[in-house]
Chains A and B, each alone.
Chain A
């Protein structure tokens, strides 16, 4: 959130961090789109595989940092 506030003030550092966020977001979006596609095709195996990938990504983005940094 502080990144967005910094963008509005045209802060250079938070612009760079926004770029980084976008870079990380693109594969996440790609995988979730694939998840939806396979789910619509009722392809169970590939839906599960896409879900595993997505869960791994979210694990890396949200869960593990909290676990590691608060140890």
Chain B
């Protein structure tokens, strides 16, 4: 439950959703096998997605058509991914999952720390015809209606990325938020608010698919799952209250360095379980602490280039 609290807090501050942080916290600190941690974080991804998704839907931000297109890819990927996870785990290769997970964490870090981007303005009406899907939403901060469109090619690319995203989500038991954002924001070129709200809905559907499969495989322990869900909901709510005050690139650098520490520990424990590269425990602690300090230093030096959002 405390892990859920911490990860809900960190996840909402970074804008990632708690699951990416919950799984490493559970595996590294509580020494839980990765499949149980994955099951727990799937349940919590599902619940955060539903809580946030209902709020966004009432505000009318997510694009239902884009959601429909991409969730068909996401669920397919999730089925394949969780079947793959089942076979990998039951044949005793679960150290591979640790390695993949740390890779995904580094990728998520790169996404969070993206350089500042210029704000998308409303698109000219003359080029509207080349868009497959168009939509508009009311921007609360700017107090204007923003029009946007999605091109066919962008949607196709997003579909492909989403298939991969669903696969990773099923394989590792995360909601796949960072990969969704990649698909929606970079490939489909949606505005960032629409992208994150739509990604929230897609996470719900994907997590429901792989969550049921994980349940039938017996990877979800109800007691721990419910405890961490309660923690995550409280944590996420607290962080929405402190987010306006805590905004700024300094706090982001601090959180990212914690994140990199967890990713590094994940990598090492994967290597240890695979028997490829075994470090003594005390050296592992020292080096991971050094990684923490190093990323802290580097991120503070690059603080100006980290986006504020």
Contact = CB atoms under 8 A, between A and B. Distances in A.
B205 interface: yes
B234 interface: no
Contacts of A38: 68
A57 B209 contact: yes
A36 interface: no
Contacts of A28: 208
Given A24-B46, A50-B68, A13 B216 contact: no
Interface in A8-26: 13, 16-17, 19-20, 23-24, 26
A50 to B, nearest CB: 5
Report the interface size class on chain B: 35 or more
Contacts of A59: 79
B15 interface: no
Given A56-B75, A56-B79, A60-B79, A24 B222 contact: no
Nearest to A22: B50
Contacts of A68: 83, 86, 216-217
B220 interface: yes
B222 A16 contact: yes
Nearest to A46: B68
B215 A20 contact: yes
Contacts of B24: none
Contacts of B69: 46, 49
Contact of B213 (A26, A30, A52, A60): A60
A53 B66 CA distance: 13
A4 interface: no
Interface string B59-96: 00000110011011001101100110010000000000
Given A23-B211, A60-B82, A64-B213, 5 more contacts: A13-B223, A23-B46, A57-B205, A60-B75, A60-B210
Interface of A: 13, 16-17, 19-20, 23-24, 26-28, 30-31, 34, 38, 46, 49-50, 52-53, 56-57, 59-61, 64-65, 68-69
